Structure 1
Amino acid sequence: MKVFQQESLPAGLDNVVYGGMLPDVQASFRIFAAHLRKVNAQWSFPEHQHPMFELNLVIDGSQRMRVGDKQFVQKQGDLVWILPNDVHASLGAVDGHMMEYVCVHLEVTDPWFRQQISQIGQIVHPSGSKMESLLRPILMDLAQIARENTSSGLNLKLQTMHASFRIFTALSEVLLDEAVVSNQQTGDSGLAAQLAQLIEHQASTTVKGQEPFRITHIAKQLGYSPAHCNRVFHKAYGVSPRHYLSTVKLRQAKLMLMDPSHSIEHIAEQLGYKDLSQFSKQFKRWTNLSPTAYRHLSW
């Protein structure tokens, strides 16, 4: 069987009556600090913020929550959806009773999908609502896995991975059902998308010895100040432009390491590092593994 590289796939257009193309999808998702907790009446969690999306479902009891300037009671069965960098806190269980909840943090690398789910602006999704109905069974499954915690490390990871795909499928269903998906990008969201495209382009065209990434260059290209570009990008994607560039480079490095036809020296050069040592140190900072160790895990 002949194997074709992506760029040399045969056209196969002879005698085609009808056809259509679907968009390429390249994204990675991360489930972070997913946990189940049963807490007493004295428990609370201080005000904090982070660059991830958060899902919080109360399984038993009720808790007082604050997200931004909104304070409310999250009742049993209510799902709370928190956007990246929203300041939030749990002010404790209601009426001196115990409370049980499950919480999941989500990270999305694809800028378009991240922007779409950021349009889900409603914080509290009551029991029986569309979003709660789609996500509750998945979160309850995660709670049960955490409660039992009898699986081997491999099975536990596979079960969590399975749940993560279900979560992102459910979020896609919410977007499609509510018709909030938008291809129109104007104002700040349009600028953020332009910045993301330019950063991805820079990551894919970097050559050895090229001048390091600076937001000042891209900002000048677009006619804005660096401070404005940093603010707009962080608001849209939850991370700085430099952090986003690192995410893109890491994704490219992982994909290339999974292809044995690329030497690690070649990968380092393609990603713009001055030598193998610099690339290896950076990759280990990202993953806690050397490029060679990651390659062995991938085969």
Structure 2
Amino acid sequence: MVSAFLPPVLGQCLSETIIPDVKTTLNLFGMHLRKVSGEWDYPLHAHPQYEFNYVLEGEQLFTVNNRSYIQRAGDLVLLRPGDSHASRSGNGQAFTYFCIHFDIDDKLLISLLSRLNHVLFPSASNIAHKLGPILSKLVDISGSISGDITMSQRMRLQSAVFDLFAQLWEAFSIEADLSSPATYEKIELAHQIRSRLQGLVYQQFKLELPYDSHYGIDDIASELGISASHCYRVFRQVFGISPREFLSEQMLHEAKVLLDDPSLSVSRISGILGYRDIAHFSRQFKRWHGTSPREYRESGQ
């Protein structure tokens, strides 16, 4: 589904592939590449972001939630928000490490990270092996930065971090298939439901189906070979909201995007979104947002 694009005229499009929306916010904090002496001793602390810590040379002694880990070259440490941790040299010698603090609003990825129960991933592990080349790329980009970061460098860093997450997902998929296939299958099923819900919103735009048309979540469940109750349960477990709430969020988002286009009348937007009339659209929008479409547009929110 592509936001804020009007559907093509029926009969003109010979083929198409619909890619579900990608709406992810990534924030990177305190990323650094650092070489420290054997006297290095960083005090116990915690922070609200995730952290990847990757040793390039030497040894680091990491203490996480009162448990100690020796981290050697090629080993990766993953810290979750709120983990108390401290670090110092593991052998009294200098060492070099690379660190990323981040947060991300992708609920599927957060669900994945919450299931990685390990803190230390040795260099020989599948996850460290998969992530190593991308971490090395991030190290190279970071090493090229001197002074203020350029737009090009910022984009390259963000691109590499997203690639890091992709490799992490693939590596986790392999481990999940070996250790807990039921858990991994649940996450994948929730992702399929989410993609089809986004497609449902797009289909309403493309065919101008009525918003309350009969095709909906129950049909998606049937197509996936599951019961409607299982569909609701799995989706809520992974994303924290029901499929219907997610669908409402998507419709509200698209309504806001269209309302931000002054060339479109509220009546036209109502039709694009598949409502049978402007009054129905206005009531639904006010139920979601607390204001009418016209009030939203006039407020410039």
Whole-Å separation in 1 of the counterparts to 2:73 and 2:110: 28
Q: What is the match of residue 112 of structure 1?
A: 108
- Quick check: 56-65 or 197-206, which moved more? 197-206
Q: Which amino acid aligns with 2:186?
A: N
**Contact 2:32–2:142 at 8 Å: present in 1 too?**
yes
**Contact 1:111–1:196 at 8 Å: present in 2 too?**
no
Whole-Å separation in 2 of the counterparts to 1:44 and 1:197: 48
Q: State the Cα distance separating 1:114 from its structure 2 match.
A: 1.0
Q: How has the CA–CA distance of structure 1 residues 45 and 202 changed in structure 2, closer, same or farther, with 3 Å as cutoff?
A: farther
Q: State the Cα distance separating 1:76 from its structure 2 match.
A: 1.7
Kindly report which structure 2 residues correspond to 1:51-70, keeping only aligned pairs within 5 A, or say none: 51-70=48-67
Q: How has the CA–CA distance of structure 1 residues 191 and 138 changed in structure 2, closer, same or farther, with 3 Å as cutoff?
A: closer
Taking structure 1 as the reference length, the TM-score comes to 0.58
1:146-178 deviation line (CA, Å, top 9, x unaligned): 223259612211221221221111112123222
Percent identity, please. 25
Whole-Å separation in 2 of the counterparts to 1:4 and 1:80: 38
| 3-state DSSP of counterpart to 1:172 | helix
Q: What is the match of residue 82 of structure 2?
A: 85
> RMSD over aligned Cα, in angstroms?
4.4
| 3-state DSSP of counterpart to 1:181 | helix
Q: State the Cα distance separating 1:128 from its structure 2 match.
A: 2.5
Q: State the Cα distance separating 1:275 from its structure 2 match.
A: 8.8
Q: What is the match of residue 32 of structure 2?
A: 35
1:89-136 deviation line (CA, Å, top 9, x unaligned): 21x112321111001123121223211222111111111221111212
Whole-Å separation in 1 of the counterparts to 2:51 and 2:130: 15
Whole-Å separation in 2 of the counterparts to 1:174 and 1:181: 12
Whole-Å separation in 2 of the counterparts to 1:120 and 1:46: 25
Q: How has the CA–CA distance of structure 1 residues 45 and 190 changed in structure 2, closer, same or farther, with 3 Å as cutoff?
A: farther
Q: Which amino acid aligns with 2:53?
A: N
Q: What is the match of residue 183 of structure 1?
A: 186
> Which of structures 1 and 2 has the bigger CA Rg?
2
| 3-state DSSP of counterpart to 1:96 | coil
Taking structure 2 as the reference length, the TM-score comes to 0.58
**Contact 2:108–2:238 at 8 Å: present in 1 too?**
no
1:30-60 deviation line (CA, Å, top 9, x unaligned): 3322111111122222222223221111111
Unaligned runs of at least 5 residues, structure 2: 178-182, 191-229, 267-285
Q: Which amino acid aligns with 2:70?
A: V
Query: How many correspondences in the alignment?
Result: 224
Q: What is the match of residue 172 of structure 1?
A: 169
Q: How has the CA–CA distance of structure 1 residues 31 and 262 changed in structure 2, closer, same or farther, with 3 Å as cutoff?
A: farther
| 3-state DSSP of counterpart to 1:107 | strand
Kindly report which structure 2 residues correspond to 1:262-273, keeping only aligned pairs within 5 A, or say none: none
